[in-house]
Amino acid sequence: MNQRFFIAILPPDAIQTEVIQIQNYFRDRYTNNKAATKSPPHITLIAPFDLSSDRLEPLQIELEKFAKTRSHFAINLSGFAAFAPRVIYLNVAPNPILQSMYSDLTSTLTKNIDLADPYAHRPFVPHMTISSLNMIDRFFNEAWAELRDRQIYFEFEAIALTLLAHDQQKWNIHANFSFRA
């Protein structure tokens, strides 16, 4: 049986709470679309993929080994950006460690367990989604006008990879794989 998973970095709970408040405000004001709130706020490393139950343990073993090769590192979220006219997000400031981690993780998973990033053909643009799924143009434009110049800044220490699983309703944390301290 297959299940949907994705791999991400989650910020600390205090930042998640603030991001959820922003997501809820924009959902209620502009879209009534709950897609962005069906998972904890996160930075996606490997987009959603289907995995059979017999491949879950090898994936977890590989993620555990990979995480142990990495140290904690700082991530800065600075301002808002957009994939117009679909998505508004918190921008992740350029981060060579995160870029390298993404490249190394995709390579490791492809080579060791034949799991490819379904969006590897696109550039990796780390971000934290605020509102998504093809907002009506008028609403996107209104929301973007409200956010584009708004100042917002969060900094946190990335301490783990997180494997999230879909339960047919929402995304839940399946397992965390801690980076070495």
> Each residue of 104-144: pLDDT tens digit?
999 999 999 999 888 888 999 999 998 875 566 778 888 89
Which candidate, 99, 117, 96, places its Cα nearest to that of 46? 117
| pLDDT, tens digit (0-9, with 9 covering 90-100), for 25-67 | 888 888 767 666 789 999 999 999 999 999 999 999 999 999 9
Write down the H helix ranges in the chain. Answer: 13-26, 53-67, 96-113, 137-147
| CATH 3.10.20.740 corresponds to the domain 2-178 | no
Q: Enter the pTM of the model.
A: 0.94
